[in-house]
Amino acid sequence: MDAILKREYGIHDINSLSEDDWLRLYAGYRFARKLELQEIENSTYNALAKIVNQLFSNNGESNITMDIGSC
């Protein structure tokens, strides 16, 4: 966890932090990471739902291509 706090917050001397400061930074990191993972999950779900909807629209005729611009 020290390495993550060093990387995320740019702290070079992690030992200079008080225990309270370390815990506060760690809790902040965990909260931000949880939100980031929820956002990724929601984006993935929405993309999958869009693909499934396109697959089953137009009486089974799919208009899906590998062209990113058509999404």
Side-chain-side CA neighbours of 23 within 13 Å: the count stands at 3
pLDDT per residue as tens digits for the range 19-57: 999 999 999 999 999 999 999 999 999 999 998 888 888
Residues in the chain: 71
Residues 63 and 55: their CA atoms lie apart, in Å, by: 8
Q: Does the pTM of the predicted model rise above 0.75? A: no
pLDDT given at position 66: 60
Quote the crossing angle between the two packed helices 2-9 and 19-55, to the nearest 10°: 80
Query: At 62, is the pLDDT very low, low, confident or very high (cuts 50, 70, 90)?
Result: low
